[in-house]
Structure 1
Amino acid sequence: MDRRAVIKSAGIAGVLAAGVAPAVHAQAAIRWRLASSFPKSLDTIFGAAEVFAAKVKTMSGGKFEISTHAAGELMPAFGVVDGVQQGTVEVAHTAPYYFFGKNEVFALGCAIPFGLNSRQMTAWMFEGNGLKLMREFYAKYNIVNLPGGNTGAQMGGWYRKEIKSMADMKGLKFRVGGFAGKVIERMGGVPQNIPGGEIYQALEKGTIDAAEWVGPYDDLKLGFNKVAPFYYYPGWWEGGPELDFFINDKAWNGLSPENKAIVESAAAEAHVVMQARYDARNPAALKQLVASGTKLRPFSNDVMAEAFKHSEALYSELSGSNPDWKKIYADYSKFRTEQNLWFRFTEATFDRFMQNQKLA
């Protein structure tokens, strides 16, 4: 039987009826590796990478698998951008502001002091110009970015001594994530950028005087309450820090449209799940910390005001020295102004009222 003649004359229906199947080219299986900046012990933040990988595998019917690796397994926590840029791994899951040393603009993709809260950040990324602007910037590093989680507003960290005024910030050796260190430095502190898995030892040994991480759920698991008694709020430097999946551009461009859609959908689910977990688990953890003797304190108004002043001055300076910052921050700050005007009349008013009620 002439296979081509049958196909030509009978069409696909005839071919199937005749029991002659056309050649089918099976799609090759895809195997990626993901390098995280976080330890496996943190089921909230490292867990977002696991949610992402599991969803990709499920939606692809097992044809697209991503193995997840904690900080230090494939590369150091702060080496993941280089790893993706060089193609050592296909994807990383990280907090972009860790890499502000390469360019301060990395911080705009995550969090800056007195920046957007988590909902505002998601709005800027998905409905504003955020994703477009940051993707143009990350292209210089061979990276395609996808939002990959948010912790929500964070706590202000753990301190060996009280922070009653600006005088107490002088000389304070403070582990603080990423870009916020620039503001802490202007306030007289000594910022330290230490990976999450190394903070406890540094605080215990007195290498640092204070440390911040995320919030009650993670902080309780990491045991910071055992080595520092004072727990401050809010984390004014992280009102809504976004985590990202950084994908090597060649790996991304090698995907079919279907697989790109799968990766985007999986990242979006991980983005939602991370904050849902933090919001669900932080309340009970905070109660447990306070019950165990943690001394909860708000930052004083003068510390907050001074931090805000230094932050705004820094942004102005960067707009004069860094063209990438100037372009993206102009859009970011305009969006922030409009969002805070809106939230002032809705979210903030509603939240303040509800927080003052005695609920059953």
Structure 2
Amino acid sequence: MLKKITLVVATTLLVTACGSNSETAGSGSADSGQSDKVYKLKLAATWGPTLTPFIDASQNMAKMAEEMSNGRLKIQVDPSNKHKSPLGILDLVKSGQYDMGHTATYYYKGKDLATIPFTAMPFGMTSTEQQGWMYYGGGLELMQKVFKPHNIVAFPGGNTGMQMGGWFKKEINTVDDFKGLKMRIPGFAGEVIAETGAVPTTIPGGELYTALDRGTIDALEWVGPSMDIKMGFHKIAPYYYTGWHEPGAELHYLVNDKAYDKLPADLQQILKTAMRVSADDMSVRTQHMNAEFLAQMKTEAPNVQIKTMPPAVLNELKAINDRLVGDMVNESPMMKEIIESQQAYQTKARNWGKLADYQYIKDNQ
């Protein structure tokens, strides 16, 4: 009962909060007087049916939307094993084959480079900084600007928090150890390690264990203890490195703009509220799972060596990142606008973070 009451309170508060986001508010052009009409949407997820908590986010969202609308809004969630295109969500939603999607937008850098920063940037914002920027620092407005040409309205879909730097079969001691290394690492971080001589690739989550086991890849990054240990990566690659590439990775809901505009205004509001509540729940649940599985890992996988990249390696990776970001900003006005907005917000937020959480943890270890 407590869980249900908490959810009702949260959704009630967020109805008001989401209503203030004018940058994502549709026209509600459909006849809002059709109070008995049922609207059905289909959502394609990047994630497989058992990939908790990612797949749970959209499933929980669909359930909340139907309950809050008294059955007027029904959303069918198709995991990746059903639509067979885990990294093709952008095209599925853009074309109208699906009304919605749940994915990570940095998978689509080949189609639009400006989609990358809304998930995460190496050495970028933490999850709290990312969410502050998104909701109150201009991030949502910029995201709509990027996705509008794709016929999409985009919304935050859950943050993983700090991600681990990945599983490696061999220890990384110098930058030269990256040369020839085949690694599953998406987003801009893939561009960074490519400069070291590594070979980055993007592989769907369901194929990662097999790829690592068979030697198709030598290393991979996935999420963190919350999801990594149950995938079994520690059975193959004993070196587990702390993160640098995705300090606060945000997933996203993509909604076809025509499908969105067909919804009455009240159902648009319900949909936005359900997406935001489910996103927040996924973030909190991931934090909880990271704590639980890290403790479990220490007893059940004692062979795992948790390591941090040597300072010289991190310094080189950051120097490469800064150079590539500079090149990108000079070549793309859209990326310039996004990156400058993120960096300005990160500077302010980091000053507070150092004074608050970081100092507190440092002083009370």
Q: What TM-score comes out, normalization by structure 2 length?
A: 0.88
For 1:152, the aligned partner's letter is G
CA distance in 2, matches of 1:25, 1:35: 27
1:298 counterpart = 2:308:
yes
Aligned equivalent of 2:104: 95
Match of 2:282 among 266, 274, 280: 274
Residues 184, 202 of structure 2: 8 Å contact kept = yes
Superposition pairs of residues 1-360 of structure 1, within 5 angstroms: 26-234=35-243, 236-291=244-299, 292=301, 293-354=303-364, 356=365
Structure 1 position 25, deviation (Å): 5.1
Counterpart amino acid of 1:50?
Q
| Equivalent position SS for 1:346 | helix
CA separation in 2, counterparts of 1:287 and 1:188?
A: 35
Deviations, residues 27-52 of structure 1 (Å, cap 9, x unaligned): 31111111001112122111111111
State the distance in 1 between where 2:332 and 2:56 align: 35
Q: Decide whether the 8 Å contact of 2:176 with 2:196 is kept in 1.
A: no
RMSD of aligned residue pairs (Cα, Å): 1.2
Mapped contact 1:104–1:179 kept (Cα < 8 A)? no
Q: What is the CA–CA distance in structure 1 between the aligned matches of 2:75 and 2:48, rounded to whole Å? A: 17
The C-alpha deviation readout for 1:146-176, integer Å capped at 9, x for no partner, is: 1110000011111101111212111111111
The answer to whether the Cα contact below 8 Å between 1:154 and 1:215 also exists between their aligned partners in 2 is: yes
Q: Which has the higher contact order (CA 8 A, sep 6+)?
A: 2
Q: What is the alpha-carbon distance in structure 1 between the residues aligned to residue 149 and residue 34 of structure 2?
A: 35
3-state SS in 1 of match to 2:158: strand
Taking the aligned partners of 2:124 and 2:219, their CA distance within structure 1 comes to 22
Q: 1:205 to 1:131 in 2, by over 3 A?
A: same
Conserved? CA contact 1:175–1:194, under 8 Å: yes
Separation of aligned partners in 1, 2:189 and 2:270: 34
One-letter amino acid of the structure 1 residue matched with residue 257 of structure 2:
D
Deviations 1:210-265 (A, max 9, x none): 0110011211121111111111112x110001111000000111111101110111
Query: Mean Cα displacement is larger for which, 37-46 or 196-205?
Result: 37-46
Provide structure 2 residue ranges, at least 5 long, that are not aligned to the other structure.
Answer: 1-32
Shift of 1:268: 0.9
Structure 1 position 288, deviation (Å): 2.4
Question: Distance between the aligned counterparts of 2:135 and 2:265, measured in 1?
Answer: 19
Q: CA deviation at 1:26?
A: 4.5
Partners of 1:97 and 1:26 in 2: how far apart?
38
Partner amino acid, structure 2, of 1:47 = D
Structure 1 distance, partners of 2:191, 2:305, is 27
Distance in 1 (alpha carbons) for counterparts of 2:67 and 2:76: 14
2:208 alignment partner AA: I
Matched residue, 1:8: none
Could you say which residue in structure 1 is the equivalent of 2:20? none
Question: Which residue identity is paired with 2:267?
Answer: N
Check whether the contact 2:49–2:81 (CA below 8 A) recurs between aligned residues: no
Contact kept, 8 Å, 2:39 with 2:263, in 1: the verdict is no
What secondary structure sits across from 1:35 in the alignment? strand
Quote the Cα distance in structure 1 between the aligned partners of 2:355 and 2:71.
47
**Identical-pair percentage:** 35
- Higher mean displacement: 86-95 or 269-278: 269-278
Q: Secondary structure at the match of 1:116?
A: coil
Task: Tell me, yes or no, if the aligned pair for 1:113 and 1:239 is still in contact at 8 Å.
Answer: yes
Letter in 2 for 1:276: V
Distance 1:75 1:353, change over 3 A: same
Cα contact 1:177–1:213 (8 A) shared by 2: no
What is the alpha-carbon distance in structure 2 between the residues aligned to residue 156 and residue 87 of structure 1? Answer: 36
Structure label with greater radius of gyration: 1
Which 10-residue stretch deviates more, 337-346 or 210-219?
337-346
Work out the number of aligned pairs and report it: 331
Contact kept in structure 1, 2:156 and 2:252, CA below 8 Å: yes
TM-score relative to the length of structure 1? 0.89
Distance 2:214 2:36 in 1: 54
Structure 1 gap ranges (5+):
1-23
